[in-house]
Amino acid sequence: MKKYIVSDIHGNGNFYYSIMYYLDNVSKEDDITLYINGDLIDRGIESGEILLDIIKRIKENNKHFQIKYLLGNHELMMYQLYQDRLMGKNTYFNDWYDNGGWVTDCYLEDNLSREEIFNIVDFIGDLDVYYLFDEKINNKNILLVHAG
């Protein structure tokens, strides 16, 4: 099994789709796991599309191409803003917007129903903060986390 780790894609479609094209082809020959170490979204104009693609791929649960998506600070900021909205706060500006989240928010608001958006928010809320690998290097544990 091969393992790949990527972080901070930030909605960059060229980067994301290049990676996925490569890994889709590698997974035809080897079982692989892709670890997305947070910040898949925001800043880049394809953030919403990329997020939906990853969620679809995770739900498909391809046994040859597994995906482990970890929470980054951008996913956390998104989650917090939508939790505020769920509580009835009419907020559109917070740290998330200041850090490029408006791109993701606009895509979701323009293309999905409220129910679909909050299903995505629930998905984000269920992301793990870290991943502890079974393997060790020099007898030491390997911990993957976006920010300490």
Residue 93: what pLDDT? 64
% the chain with pLDDT above 70: 97
Stronger pLDDT, 83 or 19, i.e. the higher one: 19
Average pLDDT over residues 111-119: 94
Q: What is the pLDDT of residue 26?
A: 94
Rounded distance, CA 53 to CA 18, Å? 14
Residue range 62-96, pLDDT digits in tens: 999 999 999 999 999 999 999 888 888 776 667 89
pLDDT at 89: 79
> Using an 8 Å Cβ cutoff, are 109 and 76 in contact?
no
Q: Could you tell me which of 36, 77, 83, 72 has the C-alpha nearest to residue 55?
A: 36
pLDDT value at residue 104: 96
Q: What is the pLDDT of residue 92?
A: 63
CB 105 within 8 A of CB 97: yes
Q: What is the pLDDT of residues 26-47, one digit of tens each?
A: 999 999 999 999 999 999 999 9
